[in-house]
Structure 1
Amino acid sequence: MKITFLGATKMVTGSNFLVEGAGKKFLVDCGMYQGGDRDEMQNHEPFAYDVNEIDFMLLTHAHIDHSGRIPKLYKEGYRNPVITTKATRDLCSIMLPDSGHIQEQEIEWRNRKRKREGKEPLPPLYTAQDGIDTMEIFKPVNYDEIIEIDPNIYVRFNDAGHMLGSAIIEIWVKEDGKETKAVFTGDLGNNDIPLLSSPTMIETADYLVMESTYGGRLHMRNDDKANLFLNIVSETLDKGGTVVIPSFAVGRTQEILYELNNLKDTQEGEDFKKKYATLMKAPVYVDSPLAISATEIFKENANLFDEETQAVIESGDNPLEFPGLQFTRTADESKALNEKNESSIIISASGMCEVGRIKHHLKHHLWDPNSTILFVGYQAPGTLGRRIVDGEKRVKIFGEEIAVNARIEYIEGYSGHADQEWLMNFVYSFITKPKHIFLVHGEPTGQEILKSKIVDEIGLPVTIPEYGQTYTLDENLTMEQTVAPITPQMNVRRDVMDKIRLLKNELNDMETIVKEDYLAKKDNEEEISLLKLRLKEIEDQIVKIVEKN
């Protein structure tokens, strides 16, 4: 049995793993790279395998960083099954066409520029119709059932507690007279994610491929995050501001709705009642057609909710509905939100602020010191969301520079990913411990912290694989680099983009200083001389970058 790591290696997005065993080749996940241009360029690179040689695919869950390149695979001729849970199939039926629509929009914008430059237009990565057509190869299965792929390969999907339909996949492969069991966690949830059951604890594995998004961090616990959430929202509304929550359309949005509905039952006291009353006066808008459709799918799959949520539903309450909640589907309804003179809560996608209606809301509220931008999910390096969270004072949205005057908050406790404590608990829970653990889907610093903790406290060997490495799962665990990580040309493009981005940020800071001095009618000759000197240095650096590359 072999595993080749072709995505989510020392980074969080682009999950894609090629498994070979018992004469078969199959994939676990085929996700998109997300983040800045540097990462997303990889989506356009050719697959590192012949799609016609892939016998089947196992899909852990619907998030685009795990499913988003399946339509590209389909477009290139793949017609074998994508095996996944029913809820994941249902969610992919709206998410993949939506992703295709985004690809069409992005390429249309780029092609306008190419046309002006006299260049040929480029096709999209895939279209909305490709996303629709792809669904014909999805094969839904149930949790907890052992499924025979062929006489030598069996799989089982277990609840991962990360999002609706998410799965930890157990894979048994028989070859050369012995059986090897590999476990892919996909994305693991915590035990306290609203609506969802806790992740299934797996008893045995020979090899474990485990996510590590928050391998170096601990999340805030439920009571603490509920209090912080209420404090942030009520303080903003009291000032007459708007709370803008960038949220992933599928999973996180539904959890925030649950939290808003559930706050009324969290505690007593006059201070709490006052804050809660402030919250209840404000309208709550879910401004994302995809999130609205996903919320309907959540309701249709309520049998997958945890026992607590099902008890709430049986009592006659709907945890995804409450007074003041409004859904805005059309573009006109969305635009009207920014014309209203009222305090409100706006939940909109995308969660990393790269695409979608959230960018319009940020443009209208980032400059306002009375408003708050509340982040509740992971922000990949290079994204607009990450730049705001990291403290940039000015950002460009639709070509316009916007001052970041709003209050910026980030509550990690709403992440759908297990933190370090729960990742460790998951490893501890194995009755028969894995012979080896591979850490994927994480940033290098957090992965190294988690690796050290597993090695020191549990005594298991851990590898953080590089892109393109193939591991033969035998007693010696041999490794060979079967796929080049990235082409030299890609390296050059990335380096140039990174260097120019850093210089651009510095130029923005310099522009801010000059503007502030101009508006304040300051005449600081020494500062101006230093800025001129630095500008000359930047010009020289740009020339060197161009000449070198």
Structure 2
Amino acid sequence: MNVSHLGAENCVTGSCHLLQANGLNIMVDCGLAQGDDPARSMDRWPIQPDEIDYLFLTHAHIDHIGRLPELIQKGFKGEIICSHPTRALLIPMLTDAMKFSGMPEQTALNIHKSIDDLSWGFECGQDFDLEKGISFKLKRAGHILGSSFVRFQDDHTGESVLFSGDLGAKDTPILPDPEAPDPADRVIMESTYGDRLHGDRQHRTRQLGAVLSRALADSGKVFIPAFSLGRTQELIYEMDRLFSNPDCQAMFPDLQGVQRPPVFVDSPLGLEITRIYARLSEYWDKEARDLKRSGDHPIDFDGLYAVEGHHDHLKLCDAAGPAVILAGSGMCTGGRIIDHLKKGIEDPKSDILFVGYQAAGTPGRAIQDNAEKPGGYVYLDGERKTIRADVHTLSGYSAHADQKGLVDWITSMPEKPGAIKLVHGEGGARRALAEVLEKQGYTVH
């Protein structure tokens, strides 16, 4: 079972790996590189797209699925295998991505049809036979709805390799916790936050409430760059807790009643994904399902507004605060958040709240890095903007497991793998995680 890394071997985005076994070419993820991360041309792959038999998708984030349209255009006709929720999310995510690619409408429609024809949803936790003696199993990764890791086995020899995809943290709203992996000879393991620990996730609703209370005290706007898939739904869930949980109501009186700030989801894709999440409630965790059964819908509340059209978006950009605005993209690389930041980033009454990873080379990372510097600035749509808004980062909202979560996941495997290959992380994160794992007796490459 030979593994080649075609993307995200030494960086965070653009995940793409090739497993060759018993004459089969099996690709795991086909993601788009973002920020300064390099993208390897398909022309320089060891095989061509039309030679790929299967494409497994661990989840529907663009840095794991974003090159699928290109793969199909270059001749891929194999089967696409993923969990049922991931299949439901594929077309909306890729439709949004292709809007910015300049692709002709008919070409995009043809790609949609190909994806629909080629893709299959599978249940997690069950063994399935592929062909030529290769079997696979998906298990829940807890990163976003439908995220999974996948284990392949050669049933003739017993050799196995497991791809972690992106692993989530425990106690993530809506999502079941990551499952323990089955034994494997080799593990291809993500390391995004291999060098740090997140804030206490048990208290993240309180952290969000405290930041919002302080930020809205001057009636300014709070801008939250949020990925349409995953983070937006988690934030809606947490705000529902802030506004309906009795303990939170008592703790944050400034966020209640007539004083409650309106919350706007200014993202057509985020709204569509939220509706899909609502339809897929059978895949939620127990807490979210129990809330829904009790009549408290966990991703809806009074004072939550959908900003559908571009005209309404422009009106919101010019409107006065207070307001909380969730808009994409999560790393400020495009989308409606840019219009909001161009209007508000130089206003001292504004606050920018980051709740997710900001890749090197993105405007989001530049805002984080430069916010505390005298005269710190960022370029937005080519315009230089001085950062006068307050900038906050809540690490407890990361969709990725931190170092402890990653270590806990691999140590939950019933026996140590023969080797671990760390991918999907910056150099410092990979080195830090490797050092911790090696001290515990793991062989890390």
Q: Same fold (TM over 0.5)?
A: yes
**Residue in 1 that maps onto 2:312:** 333
Give the Cα–Cα distance (whole angstroms) in 1 for the partners of residues 145 and 405 of structure 2.
19
Distance apart, 1:295 and its partner CA: 0.4
Which whole-Å deviations, capped at 9, do the CAs of 1:260-316 have from their partners, x for residues lacking one?
001246674897242332896211000011000000110111101001111111111
Does structure 2 retain, via aligned residues, the 8 Å contact 1:71–1:130? Answer: no
Residue identity in the other structure for 2:441: G
Q: 1:414 aligns with which of 397, 411, 420?
A: 397
Q: 1:303 aligns with which of 265, 282, 292?
A: 282
- Residue 153 (1) aligns with residue 134 (2): yes
**Residue in 1 that maps onto 2:406:** 423
**Residue in 2 that maps onto 1:142:** 123
**Residue in 2 that maps onto 1:162:** 143
Secondary structure in 2 matching 1:17: strand
Give runs of aligned pairs for residues 56-455 of structure 1, distance below 5 A: 56-104=54-102, 128-129=108-109, 131-135=111-115, 136-175=117-156, 178-264=157-243, 268=247, 272-277=251-256, 281-391=260-370, 393-455=376-438
Structure 2 CA distance for partners of 1:367 and 1:455, relative to 1, 3 Å: same
Distance apart, 1:68 and its partner CA: 0.6
Unaligned runs of at least 5 residues, structure 2? none
Secondary structure in 1 matching 2:100: helix
Distance apart, 1:227 and its partner CA: 2.4
Does structure 1 retain, via aligned residues, the 8 Å contact 2:243–2:249? Answer: no
Distance apart, 1:41 and its partner CA: 5.9
Residue identity in the other structure for 1:97: T
Q: 2:444 aligns with which of 462, 471, 491?
A: 462
**Residue in 2 that maps onto 1:120:** none
Give the Cα–Cα distance (whole angstroms) in 1 for the partners of residues 41 and 257 of structure 2.
45
**Residue in 2 that maps onto 1:26:** 26
Give the Cα–Cα distance (whole angstroms) in 2 for the partners of residues 387 and 134 of structure 1.
38
Does structure 2 retain, via aligned residues, the 8 Å contact 1:252–1:416? Answer: yes
Does structure 1 retain, via aligned residues, the 8 Å contact 2:418–2:443? Answer: yes
Distance apart, 1:102 and its partner CA: 1.3
Give the Cα–Cα distance (whole angstroms) in 1 for the partners of residues 248 and 261 of structure 2.
21
Distance apart, 1:133 and its partner CA: 3.1
Give the Cα–Cα distance (whole angstroms) in 1 for the partners of residues 68 and 273 of structure 2.
19
**Residue in 2 that maps onto 1:117:** none
Give the Cα–Cα distance (whole angstroms) in 2 for the partners of residues 304 and 388 of structure 1.
35
Distance apart, 1:140 and its partner CA: 1.1
Distance apart, 1:128 and its partner CA: 3.6
Does structure 1 retain, via aligned residues, the 8 Å contact 2:13–2:34? Answer: yes
Does structure 2 retain, via aligned residues, the 8 Å contact 1:101–1:127? Answer: no
Corresponding residue pairs, total: 439
Give the Cα–Cα distance (whole angstroms) in 1 for the partners of residues 33 and 111 of structure 2.
17
Give the Cα–Cα distance (whole angstroms) in 2 for the partners of residues 419 and 15 of structure 1.
19
Residue identity in the other structure for 1:7: G
Give runs of aligned pairs for residues 466-545 of structure 1, distance below 5 A: none
Unaligned runs of at least 5 residues, structure 1? 105-122, 464-549
Residue identity in the other structure for 1:358: I
Secondary structure in 1 matching 2:162: strand
Higher helix share: 1
Secondary structure in 2 matching 1:285: strand
The CA RMSD measured in Å over matched residues stands at 2.0
Give the Cα–Cα distance (whole angstroms) in 2 for the partners of residues 146 and 349 of structure 1.
37
Does structure 2 retain, via aligned residues, the 8 Å contact 1:216–1:446? Answer: yes
Which whole-Å deviations, capped at 9, do the CAs of 1:193-249 have from their partners, x for residues lacking one?
100000010231111111111001111112443222112211121101100000000
**Residue in 2 that maps onto 1:517:** none
**Residue in 2 that maps onto 1:505:** none
Structure 2 CA distance for partners of 1:44 and 1:207, relative to 1, 3 Å: closer
Distance apart, 1:74 and its partner CA: 0.4
Does structure 1 retain, via aligned residues, the 8 Å contact 2:352–2:392? Answer: yes
Secondary structure in 2 matching 1:103: coil
Secondary structure in 1 matching 2:167: coil
Secondary structure in 2 matching 1:203: coil
Distance apart, 1:2 and its partner CA: 0.4
**Residue in 2 that maps onto 1:480:** none
**Residue in 2 that maps onto 1:495:** none
Does structure 1 retain, via aligned residues, the 8 Å contact 2:254–2:260? Answer: no
Give the Cα–Cα distance (whole angstroms) in 1 for the partners of residues 353 and 250 of structure 2.
22
Does structure 2 retain, via aligned residues, the 8 Å contact 1:97–1:129? Answer: no
Structure 2 CA distance for partners of 1:103 and 1:240, relative to 1, 3 Å: same
Secondary structure in 2 matching 1:88: helix
Structure 2 CA distance for partners of 1:280 and 1:22, relative to 1, 3 Å: farther
Structure 2 CA distance for partners of 1:287 and 1:48, relative to 1, 3 Å: farther
Distance apart, 1:42 and its partner CA: 4.7
Distance apart, 1:360 and its partner CA: 0.3
Residue identity in the other structure for 1:71: P
| TM-score, L = length of structure 2 | 0.94
Residue identity in the other structure for 2:88: D
Give the Cα–Cα distance (whole angstroms) in 2 for the partners of residues 421 and 270 of structure 1.
32
Residue identity in the other structure for 2:49: V
Residue identity in the other structure for 1:90: A
Give the Cα–Cα distance (whole angstroms) in 1 for the partners of residues 209 and 222 of structure 2.
11
Structure 2 CA distance for partners of 1:41 and 1:441, relative to 1, 3 Å: closer
Secondary structure in 2 matching 1:462: coil
Higher mean C-alpha displacement, 131-140 vs 55-64: 131-140
Percent sequence identity over aligned pairs? 36
Residue identity in the other structure for 2:409: F
